[in-house]
Structure 1
Amino acid sequence: MSFNIGLSGIRAASSDLNITGNNIANASTVGFKSSRAEFADVYSASILGTGSNAQGSGVVLDNVAQIFTQGDINYTENSLDLAINGNGFFVTSNNGALSYTRAGYFGTNQEGFIVNNNGERLQGYGVNAVTGRINEGVPTDLRVDTRAANPNRTSKVESTLNLNSTSVRPTAAQNAYDTTFATEYSAHITANAVDPATPTEDEMAAARAAAEPAALTAARDQARTGFDPSDSSTYNSSTSVNVYDSLGNAHVMTKYFVKTDANTWDMHVLIDGRDLSGTLATDPAFSSDPEVLTFNSSGALIGGQITNIGGAAGWQPLDANGEPAGAEVQNLSLDLTGSSQYASSFGVTSVVQDGFTTGELAGLSIDDNGMLIARYTNGQTKTQGQLVLATFANQQGLKPLGDTAWAQSSASGEPVIGVPGSGTQGLIQSGALEQSNVDLSEMLINLIVAQRNYQANAKTIQTEDAVTQTIINLR
């Protein structure tokens, strides 16, 4: 009997050494979960059961349990290296056969699918091609779309700016105003038989009132006919922004501001140096019909906030030769709501336009919730999918497959599939890997204990052998 007991102890100690050695061997294996040996005692039993004074019959390895505690997170420079911070497993598919892993070594294959080192495809939710929304429901193979991003034509430009209230009319416009005012003022004095040497205050006010409309008209006409985008003396301020046509071509929209009265400005809009009819500024036929901006006495813009570029017909994009660029005629509005006229220098406080050119794939990132986000060279981003995680009612019931992967079993229960951050699912850390949860200090101590157990059980066999030899030697 003692031989069998000692032998079972040696076997148990050997199993303990194997399990501890396996833990030590995988101390640097990403996503590895350490195991521990769980032993149970053995008692002989008759048909009537075990007696109260029954002697033990040794030990048996009852279970090898895996410890699913969190491993340390180490950061890498690969955006497709993934770590789970919390509960859950990555779901991978090998031709439909699902497995579950904590090892986040991922990359893309020649077809663009996200795969691990064994070529198994990462599972997640795809994106609806029409709405751009995540198709939640049945997980599928996640795939990176490497095609260029489609351009988006500009439909609206929103700009907030300040026009300097202390600005004066351009010189030519001011000269036209002064000349016309003087002429009209004298004409009124003469027509009303006013002594020009000794006019009364009322007579002077009446003359000014009579001369003002014509002077303003002359100044405005001169400002418009004399406007030349190449001559900065014909306007007060300017600013530019890129707009895009349906083919992704960039066009420069420039706004020129000309002060015509105390609270009134002309705004000339040119695109690629052409007026809205397509005529170059250097062409004798150039004629810019401005939008009139009006401000109240508090400096707030109250007129001309929104301008439809090209009017009801829309804007026709042109190429460098002034010919249609092949792009669609598009409705394009300019919104200056919120702009002001204060006694400070001209400045643009914000500008937003909703168009962009085409762009090539520049990089990928995955956020905490598993969203696969593509970045393009045009500065745009696009969601291409969302990975899923799986949890189990009994993690200990998972069947180890090797390659740091597990399979579902009847003991583990059905997987609960969900996106990171939902329910009990953990969060995703992109550009990082979860290291093994093996504690080397503990494992080295376990080695010492297992070695002592092995030696002690061997001593049991040795002692039993000595006792047996004594009996054999009796005569």
Structure 2
Amino acid sequence: MSINSALLAGVSGLIANSSALAAISDNIANTNTTAYKRTQINFANVVTSQVVKGRYSAGGVEAITRNFIGNQGLIQPAASDTDLAIAGNGFFVVTDKGANVTTQDPRFFTRSGSFSVDADGYLVNDSGYYLQGWPADATGTIVTDPSDLSQMNSINIRDLGAQVLQTSEVLINGNLDKRGITGSVGDATYAGGTVASMADYADNPATGTRPDFTFQMNIIDSGGGSRRVAMSFLKDSSAANSWHAEIYAVPASDVAGATRPGQIAQGLMTFQADGSFDEANSTLFGVTAGIGNPPNIALAASSAGAGLRWASGLGINASSIDLDITKFTQFSATSAVASINPDGAPLGNVSGVEVTEDGNVTAIFDNNLVRLVAQIGLATFANPDGLSAVGGNAYSQSTRSGEYSVKAPQLGGAGSIQSSSLEASTVDLSAEFTGLITTQRAYSASSKIITTADQMLEELINIKR
């Protein structure tokens, strides 16, 4: 009966517009939700077969939910270094637990990057989801797998413990005064450093030769301790561009097995006529170093054996330090050291975290040491709008979304990571309020269908009277 179909069409209109109101309500409520993706209700007519000629049966309307999960939201600056946004395609891979993640634990996908460090050191967002990434091994190597989420783990930046970087390179920039020092004792009693050396003078001024110029530098040993090493120079009176040079420990007791007190190396440093360092003819380390190859300080580990070594009482590993002295010059100006740049770092603890555009997560220590922790992987889908919502602004894979592919940011169509940024909601309030008005009117119109059909039925019933 056509009146009954009109009633049902009116009811379907009420139901469909109620769904539209619910979707608009969700959108408006989540205007300020990080990376929220708006939902829209589209309407489609329902067609029924017209079995009786000259009569029309209304089919009504049905509500079809459409998710705009793949839409990019505006990226806005944020205060925290661990607030992350994705510029382009992809989703963060997350799970609902930090420690002891197994292959049976579900993984979810989100663009909500409001991560912070929890009490256990894990990166977790406001919804309680833990960020997953490929961990770096002890050498800083990362192995990625685009199809196996079990290779990823919750990123933790606190379980690194304290870190020490043993000095392996020192770059020195300085000048030696070509004029020497007026009134210096000279090198008459120096005898190549085998007797009355500058190392002797440092240990006991009464027994050694006073240098023309000395400076000290700090190096970090394997235990994080700071060791003092000195370099002393004495102008060679027999050669205009040659200097006697020694390297020794301060105090001398730090080094055992040395020919002179604490002495590590001794020889000549020579210069060209233009004042530049003549590495090819310098013998500070016993042999010609060779152009472009920094000389090396080598000290064996603490032991009681023979040979040049750290004193056994220090209990530290061997040291091998490239000493780049190629920036030394010899000009007629006061001897001075412009800069000493060692690469070592004493004991330090994690003080911050940094995330690069390609997803590398590095821990920053308070001794300026930086360690690679993990790399964030981004999951991409053939149809991101087909993902299933699971709450907390996260999604799970579905048959409509297709299979995931996890890759490093900026590779294979995946977007880049923007640190200190958050993706805004894709909700447009003006559009939602306009939809609210039209939905309200459509709902009222559908109710009028029911009212009118009811009046017609009442007239039909009154015919009997």
TM over 0.5: yes
* Alignment CA distance shift 1:24-1:158 (3 Å): same
- 1:20-419 paired onto structure 2 within 5 Å: 20-45=24-49, 56-94=58-96, 96-109=105-118, 111-117=120-126, 119-129=128-138, 131-137=139-145, 138=148, 139-144=151-156, 145-165=158-178, 167-173=179-185, 218=188, 225=196, 228=201, 234-261=210-237, 262-274=240-252, 290-302=266-278, 303-304=281-282, 307=285, 309=297, 315-318=308-311, 324-348=313-337, 351-419=340-408
> Taking structure 1 as reference, are residues 430 and 83 closer, same or farther at Cα in structure 2, changes over 3 Å only?
same
Alpha-carbon shift at residue 314 of structure 1 (Å): 6.5
Partner of 2:288: none
Deviations 1:124-149 (A, max 9, x none): 111223x3201222432224243434
What SS does the corresponding residue of 2:431 show, helix, strand or coil? helix
Q: Partners in 2 of 1:56 and 1:466 — Cα distance?
A: 17
Q: Per-residue deviation at 1:104?
A: 1.8
What is the DSSP-based 3-state SS (H/G/I as helix, E as strand, rest coil) of the residue aligned with 2:314?
coil
| Aligned Cα root-mean-square deviation (Å) | 3.6
Equivalenced residues, count: 421
1:383 Cα deviation from its structure 2 partner: 0.7
Structure 1 pair 332/127, CA: closer, same or farther in 2 (3 Å)?
Answer: closer
Q: CA deviation at 1:387?
A: 1.5
> Does the residue aligned with 2:309 lie in a helix, a strand or coil?
coil
Q: Is the 2:245–2:284 contact (alpha carbons within 8 Å) kept by the matching residues of 1?
A: no
Mapping of residues 414-429 of structure 1, within 5 Å: 414-429=403-418
| Greater Cα shift, 271-280 or 411-420 | 271-280
CA distance in 1, matches of 2:391, 2:192: 85
CA offset at residue 236 of structure 1? 3.9
Compared CA separation, residues 335 and 103, structure 1 to 2 (3 A): closer
Is it true that 1:454 corresponds to 2:443 in the alignment? yes
Q: Offset at 1:354?
A: 4.2
The answer as to whether partners of 1:31 and 1:102 remain within 8 angstroms in 2 is yes
Percent identity over the alignment? Answer: 30
Give the letter aligned to residue 140 of structure 1: M
Change (3 A) 1:420 1:311: closer
Q: Structure 2 vs 1, CA of residues 293 and 53 (structure 1 numbering), >3 Å: closer, same or farther?
A: farther
What is the CA-CA distance between 1:235 and the residue it aligns to?
Answer: 4.0
Once the two structures are TM-superposed, the CA of residue 438 in structure 1 deviates from its matched residue by 0.9
More divergent stretch after superposition (22-31 vs 111-120): 111-120
* Residue 275 to residue 156, structure 1, CA distance change in 2 (3 Å): farther
Range moving further from structure 2, 442-451 or 119-128:
119-128
SS of the residue 1:20 aligns to: helix
CA distance in 1, matches of 2:223, 2:177: 37
Q: 2:133 aligns to what SS in structure 1?
A: strand
Check 1:218–1:395 CA distance in 2 against 1; reply closer, same or farther (3 A cut). Answer: closer
Q: Distance in 2 between matches of 1:438 and 1:143?
A: 31
Once residues 23 and 416 of structure 1 are traced to their aligned partners in structure 2, the CA distance between those partners, rounded to angstroms, is: 29
Q: CA deviation at 1:371?
A: 1.2
The C-alpha deviation readout for 1:167-204, integer Å capped at 9, x for no partner, is 33341436xxxxxxxxxxxxxxxxxxxxxxxxxxxxxx
Q: Whose Rg is larger?
A: 1
Question: Against the structure 1 CA distance between its residues 52 and 3, is the aligned structure 2 distance closer, same or farther, given a 3 Å change threshold?
Answer: closer
Q: Deviations over 1:382-428 (max 9, x none)?
A: 11111211111111211111211111111111111111111111111
Aligned amino acid, residue 128 of structure 1: D
Structure with the higher fraction of residues in helix conformation: 1
Cα distance in 2, alignment partners of residues 257 and 306 from structure 1? 11
- Which 5+ residue runs of structure 1 have no aligned equivalent? 175-216
8 Å contact from structure 1 (residues 170, 259) kept in 2: no
